[in-house]
Amino acid sequence: MYIDLGAEKILAAEKEGEKIAVEVKSFFKTSVISEFHTALGQFINYRLALSEQEPDRILYLG
């Protein structure tokens, strides 16, 4: 599975040994609920792929 990390904005950081990634999304289209469901689905897929590539990194959706 390929993750398009540049789809909107991904921020990665490490502090005190904790690695995180934050996917930043915006909801500007007509249906906010539809946008949310799309973002949530992508987040779940990204989290699964990230757990295989970087299992010590925690993914957040912002």
Instruction: Assess if residue 26 is contained within a domain.
Output: yes
In a domain, 15, yes or no: yes
- 20, 57 Cβ separation under 8 angstroms: yes
Q: How far is CA 58 from CA 28, 48, 50, in A?
A: 26, 11, 8
Q: How far is CA 52 from CA 12, 16, 45, in A?
A: 16, 22, 11
Domain total in the chain: 1
Please give the chain's pLDDT, 62 residues, in tens: 445 544 456 667 888 888 888 888 888 888 989 999 999 998 998 899 888 888 998 888 88
- This prediction's pTM: 0.71
What's the CATH number where 52 sits?
A: 3.40.1350.10
Q: How far apart, in whole angstroms, are the C-alpha atoms of residue 4 and residue 37?
A: 18
